[in-house]
């Protein structure tokens, strides 16, 4: 992979729900919607308004009297410092992508550290114009109204509306009406399933709209509809007699806005931001305007060559569904996996507010990569006039889970050898002695887990064990430690969830852990993950920082009645706890006992043998 000259991250992204043509957003100008999403994205990022260096917004149709000022007016309405510059960009359907590309370029040349990049489009407010009257007309001249919406959707160079280019590409590549309708149905079905599961909630900011019933929060895409192959098959052709393009298999004319916060690596560190994705690269390519829908094909191929990656590396792919026929051709020509492409529906369902769609794709792609814990995402779009645009994102929260007992495990050796050299495992938040690690590694290798990033760097670890029997059989979290650079990414939560899964497979009734009563942050995290305050242990932590501990528990599925959370004593003393649960009962071994522990682990866990041999010989050397 050939990365950009410097790291560029996206630290937040929000969009409006998309309004149908003449629907709930019809009275919101592009500037209104742009301000809403820019504010929401900035708030989600945690960036101070004083640290924003630039604002870039895409817009195609100047639908309001002040739309020419879009980016600048968004900047001023937000109350950003007066010196912050702004720029509106227009690459038609690629404008939402282009705003992010321009933001990344500003960062790479050192002009900015934090940029708000977005796209906003009101197709409902597209104006009608009377042309050739500014300097007077002849007596009796017939003046005609020009629909700027239809003009935007028509390429005068080829003398055809966008819908006819979709017909041309269908004919050229042999796409049938049924194939187009199948793509459309897939889009609608996937959107509905994703919406029912709440997959869009994290990316959508509610917009207050006025209706006949009063004011309401608009937060669900308005264009999607219930449909079937039978319903789609009855729709008439829209652009030519006997054609395959219909209102049902073309993208919706809609209103909406989307924005992301693009940040440099310096900004991420200086402002303690949480990067959601890293921008790996982008590419824009021209193509035959008569089949403009093919645009993503050369754009994606050029991008893969530029960054030295392969389409097989992509875990998720988004192709803007301008038309079902062109989407089908792009999928075929790039040999895309349908199960990885537009997994939650696309523009046929959601709609296609021109300058917004590319940005919307990026916002959804980064949230979906993180939700699925996948690594790489590819977003793309065709562009009227004959262009294609594509961008690759990398999930910075992509954690690979590796059991320390596995053959592939190298991080274990690093932990053990670092301890053997009497070095602290900084910047981990909690470390123990070599003996302690070895004990857990040999006794409970399947409950000693680490998280590493895609570069193999240690992010954190969790040590646990299984103890008790019968209905008291439970998993215990002995230690969970996360590198300070990877906090606020949910790493600790994922580590604990992984240990819970192991405990559940052992038919444990619950998982428990101890935490200082003063550590409210940790307590709140555990509470949010379903742990209950089971009891208080008086003086559990001894020494210079003596303090009580909360014994927190989470019932596992086998404990249907949650009896494990019922206690008759809300506070106990350490001497009332089982020996293995007492703080400081950290069993130790001597160097002479290493071989015995390794031999025991190899007998009880065959996959452990090779790794422990590596550790042992490294210690001996």
pLDDT in tens, 553-584: 999 999 999 999 998 788 888 888 876 665 54
Question: 206 versus 580: which is more confidently predicted?
Answer: 206
Rounded to the nearest angstrom, the gap between the alpha carbon of residue 352 and the centroid of all alpha carbons in its chain is 21
pLDDT at 441: 74
Q: Quickly state the pLDDT bin for 379 (edges 50, 70, 90).
A: very high
Q: Mapping DSSP to helix (H, G, I), strand (E, B) and coil, where does residue 117 land?
A: strand
Rounded to the nearest angstrom, the gap between the alpha carbon of residue 191 and the centroid of all alpha carbons in its chain is 17
pLDDT at 487: 66
Distance CA 191, CA 368 (A): 13
Give, in order, the Cα–Cα distances in Å from 291 to each of 60, 161, 167, 388.
20, 11, 9, 11
Q: Do the bridges between strand 254-264 and strand 19-20 make them parallel or antiparallel, or are there none, so unpaired? A: antiparallel
Q: How many CB atoms lie within 10 A of CB 400?
A: 14
Contact 163, 245 (CB under 8 A): yes
Distance CA 459, CA 415 (A): 12
Distance CA 311, CA 295 (A): 16
pLDDT at 581: 61
> For residue 465, what are the β-bridge partners?
476
Average pLDDT, the chain: 86
C-alpha R_g of the chain: 29
Contact 303, 179 (CB under 8 A): no
Residue 160: name the closest of 239, 60, 236, 254 by CA. 239
Distance CA 11, CA 293 (A): 31
- The average pLDDT across 325-329 equals 98
Question: 262 versus 408: which is more confidently predicted?
Answer: 262
Question: 273 versus 579: which is more confidently predicted?
Answer: 273
Distance CA 176, CA 158 (A): 23
The strand ranges marked E within 247-290 are 254-264, 277-286
pLDDT at 401: 45
Contact 403, 310 (CB under 8 A): no
User: Percent of the chain having pLDDT more than 90?
Assistant: 66
pLDDT at 552: 94
Q: Which of 54-58, 126-130, 197-201, 418-422 has the highest mean pLDDT?
A: 54-58
Q: Is 132 left (phi over 0), alpha (psi -120 to 50) or beta?
A: left
Decide if pLDDT at 156 tops 80: yes
Q: Mapping DSSP to helix (H, G, I), strand (E, B) and coil, where does residue 456 land?
A: coil
Distance CA 155, CA 162 (A): 7
Q: Which of 129-143, 320-334, 497-511 has the highest mean pLDDT?
A: 320-334
> What are the residue boundaries of the structural domains of the chain, listed by start?
8-129+159-226+249-395, 400-620
pLDDT at 419: 45
pLDDT at 609: 38
Give, in order, the Cα–Cα distances in Å from 526 to each of 168, 462, 613.
57, 15, 36
pLDDT at 148: 92
pLDDT at 460: 77
Distance CA 289, CA 186 (A): 27
pLDDT at 350: 97
Question: 67 versus 113: which is more confidently predicted?
Answer: 113
Phi/psi for 524 (5° steps) reads -65, -40
Where would I find the H helices in 207-353? 229-233, 265-270, 296-307, 324-334, 347-350
Q: Which CATH superfamily is domain 400-620 in?
A: Gcn5-related N-acetyltransferase (GNAT) (3.40.630.30)
Domain 8-129+159-226+249-395 has CATH 3.50.50.60: no
Where b means 16+ CB within 10 Å and e means fewer, 575-592 reads eebeeebeeeeeeeeeee
Decide if pLDDT at 619 tops 50: no
Distance CA 51, CA 115 (A): 9
Residues 168-186 pLDDT 10s: 999 999 999 999 999 999 9
Counting every residue written for the chain, the total comes to: 621
Residue 54: name the closest of 110, 105, 102, 115 by CA. 115
Contacts within 8 Å (CB) and 24+ apart, 467-470: 467/578, 467/580, 467/581
pLDDT at 1: 63
- The average pLDDT across 239-264 equals 97
Contact 476, 466 (CB under 8 A): yes
pLDDT at 463: 86
Residue 163: name the closest of 155, 409, 16 by CA. 155
The strand ranges marked E within 107-220 are 114-122, 128-130, 145-147, 154-155, 160-161, 207-211, 214-218
Decide if pLDDT at 598 tops 70: no
Contact 444, 458 (CB under 8 A): no
Decide if pLDDT at 597 tops 50: no
Q: Quickly state the pLDDT bin for 383 (edges 50, 70, 90).
A: very high
Decide if pLDDT at 144 tops 60: yes
Report how many helices (DSSP H) and strands (DSSP E) the chain contains, helices first. 18, 24
Decide if pLDDT at 431 tops 50: yes
Rounded to the nearest angstrom, the gap between the alpha carbon of residue 568 and the centroid of all alpha carbons in its chain is 44
pLDDT at 420: 41
Residues 278-304 pLDDT 10s: 999 999 999 999 999 999 999 999 999
Residues 18-65 pLDDT 10s: 999 999 999 999 999 999 999 999 999 999 999 999 999 999 999 888
Residues 510-550 pLDDT 10s: 999 999 999 988 898 899 889 999 999 999 888 777 899 99
Distance CA 450, CA 442 (A): 15
Q: Do the bridges between strand 19-20 and strand 145-147 make them parallel or antiparallel, or are there none, so unpaired? A: unpaired
Q: Which residues contact 35 (CB under 8 A, 6 or more apart)?
A: 73, 74, 77, 78
Distance CA 592, CA 416 (A): 16
Residues with a catalytic annotation lie at 93, 382
pLDDT at 430: 53
Distance CA 59, CA 86 (A): 13
Lowest mean per-residue pLDDT among 3-17, 105-119, 384-398, 595-609: 595-609
> For residue 400, what are the β-bridge partners?
452
Q: Is 536 exposed, middle or buried (0-12, 13-18, 19+ CB in 10 A)?
A: middle
Residue 522: name the closest of 502, 564, 544, 492 by CA. 492
Distance CA 41, CA 239 (A): 39
Q: Which of 69-83, 428-442, 491-505, 567-581 has the highest mean pLDDT?
A: 69-83
pLDDT at 134: 86
Contact 283, 296 (CB under 8 A): no
Contact 126, 152 (CB under 8 A): yes
């Amino acid at each position: 992979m050939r990365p950009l000259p410097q790291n560029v991250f996206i630290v937040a992204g929000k969009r409006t729900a998309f309004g149908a043509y003449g629907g709930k957003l019809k009275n919101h100008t592009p500037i209104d919607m742009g301000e809403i999403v820019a504010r929401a994205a900035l708030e989600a990022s945690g960036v101070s308004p004083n640290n924003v260096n630039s604002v870039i917004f895409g817009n195609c149709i100047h639908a309001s009297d002040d739309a020419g000022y879009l980016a600048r007016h968004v900047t001023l309405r937000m109350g950003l410092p007066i010196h912050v510059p702004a720029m509106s960009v227009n690459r038609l359907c690629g404008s939402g992508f282009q705003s992010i590309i321009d933001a990344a370029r500003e960062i790479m040349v050192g002009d900015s550290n934090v940029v708000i990049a977005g796209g906003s489009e009101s197709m409902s407010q597209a104006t009608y114009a009377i042309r050739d009257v500014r300097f007077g007309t002849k007596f009796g001249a017939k003046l005609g109204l020009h629909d700027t919406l239809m003009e935007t959707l028509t390429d005068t160079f080829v003398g055809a509306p966008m819908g006819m280019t979709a017909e041309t590409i269908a004919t050229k590549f042999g796409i049938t009406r049924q194939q187009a309708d199948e793509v459309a149905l897939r889009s609608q079905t996937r959107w509905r399933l994703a919406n029912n599961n709440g997959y869009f909630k994290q990316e959508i900011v509610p917009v207050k709209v006025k209706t006949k019933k009063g004011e309401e929060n608009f937060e669900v895409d308005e264009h999607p509809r219930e449909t079937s192959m039978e319903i789609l098959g009855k729709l008439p052709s829209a652009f030519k007699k006997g054609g395959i393009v219909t209102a049902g298999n073309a993208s919706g004319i809609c209103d909406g806005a989307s924005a992301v916060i693009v940040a440099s690596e310096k900004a991420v560190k200086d402002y303690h931001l949480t990067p959601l994705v890293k921008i790996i690269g982008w590419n824009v390519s021209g193509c035959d305007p008569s089949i403009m829908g093919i645009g993503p094909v050369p754009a994606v191929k050029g991008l893969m060559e530029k960054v030295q990656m392969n389409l097989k590396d992509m875990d998720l792919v988004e192709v803007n569904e301008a038309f079902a026929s062109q989407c089908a051709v792009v999928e075929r020509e790039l040999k895309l996996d349908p199960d990885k492409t537009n997994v939650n529906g696309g523009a046929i369902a959601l709609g296609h507010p021109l300058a917004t769609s590319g940005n919307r794709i990026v916002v959804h792609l980064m949230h979906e990569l993180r939700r699925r814990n996948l690594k790489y995402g590819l977003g793309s779009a065709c562009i009227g006039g004959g262009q294609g645009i594509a961008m690759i994102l990398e999930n910075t929260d992509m954690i690979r889970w590796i059991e320390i007992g596995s053959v592939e495990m190298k991080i274990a050796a690093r932990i053990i050898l670092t301890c053997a050299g009497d070095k602290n495992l900084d910047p981990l938040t909690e470390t123990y002695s070599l003996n302690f690690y070895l004990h857990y590694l040999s006794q409970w290798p399947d409950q000693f887990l680490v998280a590493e990033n895609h570069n193999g760097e240690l992010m954190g670890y969790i040590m646990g064990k299984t103890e008790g029997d019968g209905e008291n059989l439970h998993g215990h979290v002995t230690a969970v430690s996360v590198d300070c650079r990877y906090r606020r990414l949910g790493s600790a939560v994922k580590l604990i969830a992984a240990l819970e899964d192991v405990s559940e497979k052992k038919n444990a009734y619950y998982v428990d852990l101890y935490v200082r009563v003063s550590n409210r942050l940790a307590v709140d995290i555990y509470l949010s993950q379903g742990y209950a305050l089971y009891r208080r242990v008086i003086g559990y932590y001894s020494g210079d920082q003596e303090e009580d501990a909360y014994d927190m528990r989470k019932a596992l599925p086998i404990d249907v009645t949650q009896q494990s959370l019922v206690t008759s004593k809300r506070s106990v003393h350490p001497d009332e706890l089982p020996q293995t649960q007492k703080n400081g009962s950290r069993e130790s071994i001597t160097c002479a006992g290493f071989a015995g522990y390794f031999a025991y682990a190899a007998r009880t866990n065959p996959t452990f043998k090779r790794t422990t041999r590596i550790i042992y010989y490294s210690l001996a050397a």
